[in-house]
Chain A
Amino acid sequence: MRPRGTAALVYQELPRIYWALIALILIGVATGPQFRTLSNLANILDQSAVLAVLALGQAFVIAGGMIDLSVGQLVGLITVVACMMFDAFPGMSLLVIVGCIALAALVGLINGELINRLRMPPLILTFGMLSVLQGCIFVLTDRSVGQVAPAIAFLSNGRVLGVPASLLLVAIVAAAAYYVLQRSVFGWHLLAMGNSADSARKAGLNLFSLTRFAFLVSGLCAGIAGLLVAGRLGTGFPNAGNGLELDAIVAVVLGGTPLKGGRVSVAGILGAVLFLGVLNNLLNLMQVPAFTQIVVKGLIVITATLADRPGRVVRPA
């Protein structure tokens, strides 16, 4: 617990996933010149933006001891709706962007409100919502539709002074998430709820409003992620969000936030997202067959989970 010098402090405070990330980067640097290029690095960051935003949103829910399985299909819905709207109202990009994010936040709010009022396990409610949202997507379209506004395409793929625009967006979202989760009273209360909902309630915390807000943020982030996906694909693909919810949960857990909540690390989540991005990139550069890549990823999830077991020093944020 007592840090001795800067090195010890870094060792203690650095989320464990960073050691894996550093190892992976060293392997990458050692294996080939392709990995070391700046454009490849920017590429990894671009590809990781969607997952980063989605995982940061999921962190709010998981920190409170809950889970949101609906975000993958919410991303798909926003992607489709945004592209249809951009196509229909070319002059009103800003309005469409605001509208899409508001829609996603509303879906999140509905999730939270239903969990409160129906007193249901979040896993089941958001699983039901997953199906409902998927249905909504297919009501709208069963094939790729519309096109994306230039502003959104720039956000996903553009460069500001050589820095990926998506990286700036992720930085803003991450800073906000860090402040709210790890530096504000709200975050403190949310973690208390994750630690023990019963004790938090007895201490006078309003669990209903905590739940509502956590899901609102999760929906909001899914909205932003949906727009980023639209920007990357350039069109509204109905299956764009399939399985993203599980990727986000994996990133949150690899980042050192346990599924039962009560502990959270924004830096850890960013490290985990980067780790997954670099891993993907390396496997592709090394031309590992697609099916083998799947097995490797699964094994890494298992290994990382085992390596980051409870029992290590847990300190309040």
Chain B
Amino acid sequence: MSTMTDSLWRPTRLPSLEEAAVWIVLAALLLLAGLTSDAFFKLNYLTNLVRQAAPVGITAVGVTFVMLLRGVDLSVGAIVSMSAVACALVMDGKPENLWLGILAASACGALIGLANGILIAHGKVSSFIMTLGMSIVVYGLVQMGTGGTARGIVSPGFRETLNSRIGGVLPVLVICLLVAVSFGVFLQSRTRFGRSAYLIGANPEAARLAGLPVNRVTVIAYIVSGLFAGLGGLALLARTGVSGTNPGAGMEFDVLAAVVLGGATFAGGRGSVGGTFAGVMVLFIALNLANVAGMPFAAQLIIKGLIIIAASAAHSWIGSRSGGRS
């Protein structure tokens, strides 16, 4: 065969090893989990695991888009807190306020995302420090709103519905997470916004010269991130039932770890919503393993850290085999 036909020949596109890396890690971890405890593969246990992952998972879907654009969103933890608190305050225990509460939570998230997006896109400043500042502001606002104690009551039916299992098997929260992931995948691969995000993240200067609306896509990405964090706050509220004063504290780093495990890099242009979902599951299975093994809290923290390091290392090792380097 001549070189010419060689170079023209293209195999059917399979997911590259780099993209599959997180799924390989997930499969290995599941296998390990199965060996540790045979309870792991019971349907109830697995669905419960995914249910626990819903708040972080839903939030991580939105952050994926920000990371595609070389950004990072550290305000999502504070947005989760604000969303949960705002929702409980607006609902005030009255059934007629149910949708108003959900709307308030989503609006809070989207608005903070909008502020992030405008400041970052038009101010040309580091997203790390900008969203960190925003998270401090939002955290302070939440504390002012609650006065430092848990306030607000969720509407009757809110928790019951979201925590029920359809047909006694499939938890509603799992469906919510899957819907969020599907919507994320749709945004990523079927919309102009999603395709632009990849192009801009890979090379912002080239994208700008090619006439892509870099600022607009950036603002939308942060709105999406804020909105999903708002929905993540609702999921958290459904799980806990009380808003507390700072229920989302520290969640931004769990989310960040999950998104990076899922294949996103700080250099942008890489990663996917599907990968992020797998990254979230890697994180939660790891935490569950430590829990199932009956380890004390201190040991669980150590295991969590080691798993994050090991999974990310395995990921970059597999990625480098396929020629990619993150």
Contacts and interface: CB of A to CB of B under 8 A. Distances in A.
A305 B316 contact: no
Nearest to B303: A135
Contacts of A289: 144
B130 A302 contact: yes
A9 interface: no
Interface string A281-316: 000000001111111111111100110011100000
A294 B326 CA distance: 36
Interface in B248-264: 253, 256-257, 260
A138 B298 contact: yes
Main secondary structure of the interface of A (DSSP, over half): helix
B266 interface: yes
Contact of B140 (A118, A294, A302): A294
Interface stretch (A33-41, A123-131, A184-192): A123-131
A258 interface: yes
A114 B126 contact: no
A250 B129 contact: yes
Contacts of A125: 309, 312
B140 A292 contact: yes
A302 B309 contact: no
Interface in A254-290: 258-260, 289-290
Interface stretch (B39-47, B103-111, B131-139, B179-187): B131-139
Given A134-B301, A135-B298, A305-B126, A121 B308 contact: no
Main secondary structure of the interface of B (DSSP, over half): helix
B132 A295 contact: no
Interface in A100-115: 114
Contacts of B140: 291-298
A138 B304 CA distance: 14
Contact of A135 (B123, B129, B257, B299): B299
B133 A311 contact: no
B136 A294 contact: yes
Interface centre among B119, B128, B326 (most CB of A within 10 A): B128
B305 interface: yes
A51 to B, nearest CB: 15
Contact of B305 (A132, A137, A246, A293): A132
B256 A127 contact: yes
A123 B132 CA distance: 15
A91 to B, nearest CB: 30
Contacts of B9: none
B313 interface: yes
Contacts of A74: none
Contacts of B126: 253, 258-260, 305
B144 A291 contact: yes
Contacts of A253: 126, 129
B302 interface: yes
A124 B257 contact: yes
Contacts of B325: 119
A291 B148 contact: yes
B148 A135 contact: no
Nearest to B125: A305
Contact of A131 (B119, B143, B305, B312): B305
B125 to A, nearest CB: 5
A294 B142 CA distance: 10
A134 B302 CA distance: 7
B300 interface: yes
A135 B133 contact: no
A294 B139 contact: yes
A119 B302 contact: no
A302 B137 CA distance: 9
Contact of A120 (B303, B305, B307, B313): B313
Contact of A121 (B137, B139, B253, B266): B266
B125 A309 contact: yes
A127 B124 CA distance: 26
B144 A136 contact: no
Nearest to B253: A127
B306 interface: yes
A299 B137 contact: yes
Interface centre among B148, B253, B297, B309 (most CB of A within 10 A): B309
A7 interface: no
B299 A259 contact: no
A128 B132 contact: no
B123 A306 contact: yes
B133 A302 contact: yes
Contacts of B300: 135
A161 interface: no
Contacts of A131: 301-302, 304-305, 308
B301 A138 contact: yes
B298 A118 contact: no
A128 to B, nearest CB: 4
A63 interface: no
Contact of A309 (B123, B298, B309): B123
Contact of B139 (A136, A258, A298): A298
Contacts of A295: 136-137, 140-141, 144
Contacts of B124: 309-311
Interface string A136-162: 111100100000000000000000000
A128 B305 contact: yes
* Among all A-B residue pairs, the 5 with the closest Cβ atoms: A294-B140, A131-B305, A298-B136, A135-B301, A298-B137
Interface of B: 119, 123-126, 128-130, 132-141, 143-144, 148, 253, 256-257, 260, 265-266, 297-309, 312-313, 316-317, 320, 325-326
Given A294-B137, A295-B136, A298-B139, 4 more contacts: A121-B265, A294-B143, A305-B126, A306-B125
